[in-house]
Structures are given as C-alpha cells and as structure tokens.
Chain A
Amino acid sequence: MTKAEIVEQIYEQVGFSKKESAELVETVFETIKQTLSMGEKVKISGFGNFVVRPKNARKGRNPQTGQEILLEARRVLTFKPSLVLKNILNDEPVDSSMLAAENRD
C-alpha cells in the first residue's frame, strides 16, 4: 500500500474529491512529521505510538574495515504498535478496555 492508495480509500469511502483527499492525507502525515521533529510523541489510539528517543554516543566499528568509529548521540524514532493492532493481526478479540489502557499517559 502506498500513499496514493490511501488517498484512493479516502476518495472512495469518504467522498472527497481526489485533490482534497490527496491534500488531507498529505497534511496528516506532514503534521505527524512536524510534531515528531520537535521531539513530541504522537499517539494514535488503536494503531500505535510514535516516540522519539535519545541514543547516547557510543563507540562502534565499521563492519567492513573493522575500524573503530565514534557514533554520535542522536535521536531516533520508534514505533510501539497498539495492542489493538497486534490483536487484529492475530485474529484475537479486541475490546474497549485495551483502548482505555493505552490512552493513559
């Protein structure tokens, strides 16, 4: 599935024009990206949480040459899937208490 196919779903299911659907899908992902780039997490209930985590500097090695290198401290993005999403993928029951549990901060 690509962004174009998501746009197609919006067009078919919600009834916006293709142009509006594309604009909306674009704005949704842009907004998530901007929020994450400020270091703020994005929690999509029923889907999962996108969280920015700091990583400390550490020594690494170039796997090809074996040369030691310093990996600088950086920030990485992690995704923690919702229990609801995991259960759907495994044909397991989903109930509202799961949503309540993950919506707690």
Chain B
Amino acid sequence: MTKSGLIEAVAEKTPHISKKDTEIVVNTIFDSMTQALKKGERIEIRGFGSFQVKIREAREGRNPKTGEPVHISAKRTPFFKVGKELKEMVDNVPPEAVQPNSARELA
C-alpha cells in the first residue's frame, strides 16, 4: 500500500469527508511527525509504535570500490520501535496467547 492507497482506504471509511480533505489530513499527519522529529522530539502513537531520532557517531569508513578510507560525519537517524499491539497483530498472535516470560517475550 502506498500513500495514495492509504488515502483511498481512509476516504472509503469516512464517506462524509472528501478525498481531497483526506489527502490533506494524511499529508499533515506525516508532515507534523517529520517536524516533531526534526525538533528532536520523540513521537509515541499508542498501539502503533514510537519514533525517535538517534545520533550516529562520526566514524572512519572505507570506499568499498577503492578501499580508500573516508570520514563519515555524525548523522541523525530516525528509529521506529513497534508497539505491543501492532507487534502482536503483525505476528498474528492473539494477545491472550502470549505467556509472560515466554520465549517470545525474551526475543
């Protein structure tokens, strides 16, 4: 599913709102999330997951073609951690089937 597919699906579920408006809403959601991350804010969507920006330290890398050493400067990278509910949905395991301290929990 692409962003336009998402807009389509959401528009179908909310027939009282035009597709054009749905598109604006979807874009505004991801724009505001991008802006929050840009400010270094953590985002937490309950039941979905959380996003956080981490800093990757500068390091000495190597050009894989020439073998020449290159300097790679520090970078900010977004990370996503899946929330419990979505994690279980994706794995198709009903929450009640997950035992505390099971192998799954330790993973």
Contact = CB atoms under 8 A, between A and B. Distances in A.
Contacts of A14: 21, 24-25, 28
B3 A36 contact: no
B34 A31 contact: no
Interface string B14-36: 10010001101110111011101
A69 B103 contact: yes
Contacts of A13: 28, 32
Interface residues of B, number: 52
Given A16-B25, A44-B6, A76-B91, A62 B106 contact: yes
Nearest to B11: A27
A36 B26 contact: no
Given A43-B1, A60-B107, A6 B33 contact: yes
Interface of A: 1-3, 5-6, 9-10, 13-14, 16, 20-21, 23-25, 27-29, 31-33, 35-37, 39-48, 50, 52, 60, 62-63, 69-72, 74-79, 81, 85-86, 88-90, 103
Given A21-B25, A71-B107, A86-B75, 14 more contacts: A6-B33, A9-B32, A10-B25, A16-B21, A28-B26, A35-B9, A37-B86, A41-B1, A44-B2, A45-B3, A75-B90, A76-B87, A89-B78, A103-B2
Interface of B: 1-3, 6, 9-10, 13-14, 17, 21-22, 24-26, 28-30, 32-34, 36-38, 41-49, 53, 75-80, 82, 85-87, 89-93, 103-104, 106-107
